[in-house]
A and B are shown apart, each in its own frame.
Chain A
Amino acid sequence: EAQVTQNPRYLITVTGKKLTVTCSQNMNHEYMSWYRQDPGLGLRQIYYSMNVEVTDKGDVPEGYKVSRKEKRNFPLILESPSPNQTSLYFCASGWTSLGEQYFGPGTRLTVT
């Protein structure tokens, strides 16, 4: 089944404790992206990747890191999480940056 998977689905952590949210797709997509969704603010792009080893900042990259060492994986790293990073996070992938994107199930992160 073609899909985008994320892990963990739910995470509660404390301020400053490094964490990684994994994202994997099995559709051989070139393009992958991370978003956060907050009430009243909608979906905002954090980082995106056009291809392996190519990443770029979206609209809200502060406090996040990404890497794209393999085509299928695009982990999101929070080196020192803070409470303002409490949010619902979505990974997405697509054939190109201009085309449709397919979303993972989401990761609900709470930072206390």
Chain B
Amino acid sequence: QKEVEQNSGPLSVPEGAIASLNCTYSDRGSQSFFWYRQYSGKSPELIMFIYSNGDKEDGRFTAQLNKASQYVSLLIRDSQPSDSATYLCAVNPGGSQGNLIFGKGTKLSVKP
């Protein structure tokens, strides 16, 4: 059974701090990795995707991928109260399969 694991939280950080969200996955052959943000009662919204080892930056967000450790993370710099949401890590095992496997999400709370 292919799995994606996330700490459910809640993760609480003060406004302006760096929030660090982590995700591990079980399938070593996984090819693509995604971070989604989901506000309560809303649909998941894509924030970042990463395919290669290393860091990828987009504004206040940085995704980090380490395939050897089967680990992907999301850093949010200068956290704002509007960043308070549940963050979902998703992994595509690749190959002939078309399914995307989601973690259960980490709830982030940014305190003013």
Q: Do A and B bind each other?
A: yes
Residues in A lying within 8 Å of B, measured CB to CB:
31, 33, 35, 40-45, 48-50, 56, 58-59, 90, 97-106
Besides A42-B105, A101-B46, 7 other A-B contacts (C-beta < 8 A): A42-B88, A42-B103, A43-B90, A48-B98, A97-B97, A98-B92, A106-B43
A98 with B43: CB separation less than 8 A? no
Give which listed residue, B32, B43, B44, B99, contacts A99 with CB less than 8 A. B32
Which of chain B's residues have a CB closer than 8 A to the CB of A102?
46
Centre residue among A44, A97, A102 by max chain B CB count within 10 A:
A97
Q: A42-B105, A100-B49 are in contact. Are A31 and B88 (CB under 8 A)?
A: no
Whether A98 lies near B88 (C-beta < 8 A) is no
With the chains together, A58 CA to B104 CA distance in Å? 17
- Collect the chain A residues with CB atoms within 8 Å of residue B105's CB: 42
- Cβ–Cβ contact B43 & A97, under 8 A: no
- Residues of B whose CB lies within 8 Å of any CB of A are 31-32, 34, 42-46, 49, 88, 90, 92, 94, 97-105
Among B44, B46, B88, B98, the residue within 8 A (CB) of A97 is B98
- Once A98-B31, A98-B94, A100-B49 are accepted as A-B contacts, the answer to whether A33 and B44 lie under 8 Å apart by CB is no
List residues of chain A with CB within 8 A of the CB of B88: 42-43
Within 8 Å CB of A90, what residues of B? 43-44
Smallest Cβ distance from A25 to chain B, in angstroms?
13
Contacts of B49 in A (CB 8 A): 99-100
State whether A103 touches B104 (Cβ < 8 A): no
Shortest A110–chain B CB gap in Å is 15
B99-A48 in contact (CB<8A): yes
Asked whether, in the complex, the Cβ of B43 is within 8 Å of the Cβ of A105, the reply is yes
Contacts of B103 in A (CB 8 A): 42
Contacting pair A43 B98 (CB below 8 A): no
Q: Which residues of A contact B90 (CB under 8 A)?
A: 43
Complex CA gap A79/B42 in Å reads: 27
Known: A43-B102, A45-B99, A45-B100. A98 touches B32 (CB 8 A): yes
Q: How far is the CA of A100 from the CA of B35 in the complex (A)?
A: 10
